[in-house]
Chain A
């Protein structure tokens, strides 16, 4: 019998899994245990034909390094990628570089790596954040490492952009018409008030009913806590031990 006590990270993993479609090529980058687990769960539930490209997976078949993934994305062969940020703003821009003034930052971070190219050239990008509060979800990021769309810049072209964002509280999506992030669903047991109160911008909820995501099914939980856990122990050992012992 599966324990019904569900960790918020497990809720996030299930939410990520359900956003992936069968047959997609799904890539996850560095420090992305929740997307990796979500991808592995999707492979074992509704997505047997998903092609997972999990960076750091010792069982993954890759011929020559991370730049092979970059090349794949540039050629349009990565359908879904995942990004995060210490700040995420209402336009879907992410900050991975600095809090405060870039020249005199309060906090200096490792930087954006290939995020701006991958945001532009993956088929779509799902943002994730392990925290949902007003420090992360801000009206405008202090530094734009990667933008969700091109506006007012003479960019030659782009393929993709933000599709969704998954946090411990909710699933958001990118509204392509308003060019803003809007709330899509609440994770089970989370109140609308706590999402609104912890988000630093308008989530476009006026006049809309915000559903609660269906709770993880017994099968999802069982797979998560056996097969997915075992694979995660080989990829993100410390995360897997923290979550599942």
Chain B
């Protein structure tokens, strides 16, 4: 990695090492790979074998390929032939996906590009609640623990669904 030498990362990260590049002979900083135990990605479409299409601006495919176990949350489950990437989408092969969970609106309150926008009002509610422990516990009770399932959560937050 270029840019680490001269930064204070070299003082606090004892996992950063330097190696000599066998081609140029120069010393480079190298970093160990990150191998997540579990990756959870949110996909637009999925099939029951784990094929996915996700948004191209995110690192979902990289995450799915890096993690030991990958769980995909999908907006909808379709037949494998229908899970094809559209404009600004990428395909993730079933090879890299261990489990598929169908949850429409599963990205709420963040956006699912092309499906629904960020819920700015809910984000503001979350930010206000995150300022102190008691308010945050209240948020968790109200929005996360009280709803009996994902549908109940979506009803509670007033999720308007596709095309909002």
- The interface of chain A, by Cβ under 8 A from chain B, is 55-58, 60-67, 74, 97, 102, 112, 115-121, 143-147, 150-158, 237-238, 241
Q: Which residue of A lies closest to B60 (CB)?
A: A65
Chain A residues with CB below 8 A from B33, complex form: none
Q: Give the interface segment out of B7-15, B45-53, B149-157.
A: B7-15
Given contacts A64-B90, A156-B24, contact A150 B5 (CB under 8 A): yes
* Nearest CB on A from B154, distance (A): 20
Selected from A55, A115, A241, the residue in CB contact (under 8 A) with B57 is A55
Per CB-CB distance, the 8 closest pairs between chain A and chain B, nearest first, are: A116-B3, A120-B3, A156-B26, A65-B59, A153-B6, A117-B3, A155-B5, A153-B5
User: Known: A145-B9, A156-B24. Contact between A65 and B56, CB under 8 A?
Assistant: yes
Task: List residues of chain A with CB within 8 A of the CB of B27.
Answer: 154, 156
Give Cα distance in the complex from A155 to B62, angstroms.
29
* Cα(A56)–Cα(B62), bound, Å: 18
Please tell me which one of the listed residues A56, A61, A143, A158 contacts residue B3 in the complex, with CB atoms under 8 A apart.
A158
Minimal beta-carbon separation of B22 from chain A (angstroms):
13
Binds A, one of B94-102, B112-120, B132-140: B112-120
Q: A65-B60, A145-B9 are in contact. List 6 more A-B contacts (CB 8 A).
A: A55-B57, A64-B61, A150-B5, A150-B6, A155-B6, A238-B120
Minimal Cβ-Cβ distance residue in B for A69: B57
Are A62's CB and B88's CB within 8 A?
A: yes
Q: Which of A60, A151, A157 touches B6 (beta carbons < 8 Å)?
A: A151
- Once bound together, how far apart are the Cα atoms of A117 and B58, in whole Å? 19
Shortest CB-to-CB span from B96 to chain A, Å, is: 14
Greatest chain A CB density within 10 A among B4, B8, B27 is at B8
A156:B2 contact, CB within 8 angstroms: yes
Instruction: Judge whether B21 is part of the interface by a CB distance below 8 angstroms.
Output: yes
From residue B72, how far is it (CB to closest CB) to chain A in Å? 16
Partner of A117, one of B1, B21, B56, B60: B1
Distance in angstroms from A18 CB to nearest chain B CB is 28
CB distance from B126 to the nearest CB of A (A): 13
Given A156-B24, A237-B117, are A61 and B88 also a contact pair (CB < 8 Å)? Answer: yes
Q: Does B159 contact A (CB under 8 A)?
A: no
A233 CB → nearest B CB, Å? 10
Chain B residues whose C-beta falls within 8 Å of the C-beta of A143 in the assembled complex: 8
How many whole Å from A5's CB to the nearest CB in chain B? 25
Known: A156-B26, A237-B118. A146 touches B113 (CB 8 A): no
Contacts of B58 in A (CB 8 A): 65-66
Q: A154-B27, A237-B117, A241-B120 are in contact. Are A64 and B56 (CB under 8 A)?
A: yes
- Whether A65 contacts B57 by the Cβ 8 Å rule is yes
A-B contacts, 6 listed (Cβ < 8 Å): A102-B8, A117-B3, A119-B3, A150-B6, A156-B2, A156-B24
Looking at the assembled complex, report how far the CB atom of B34 sits from the nearest CB atom of chain A, in whole angstroms. 12
CB distance from B125 to the nearest CB of A (A): 13
Closest Cβ neighbor of B2 among chain A residues: A120
Chain B positions within 8 Å of A154 at CB level: 5, 27
- Closest residue of B by beta carbon distance from A143: B8
Q: Which residues of B contact A238 (CB under 8 A)?
A: 120, 123
Residue in B12, B60, B61, B114 whose CB lies within 8 Å of A102 = B12
Question: A65-B59, A102-B12, A147-B7 are contacts. A158–B120 as well, Cβ < 8 Å?
Answer: no
Alpha-carbon distance A156/B64, docked complex (angstroms): 33
CB <8 Å contact, A144 and B57: no
Residue of A nearest to B28 (CB): A156
Q: How far is the CA of A115 from the CA of B6 in the complex (A)?
A: 13
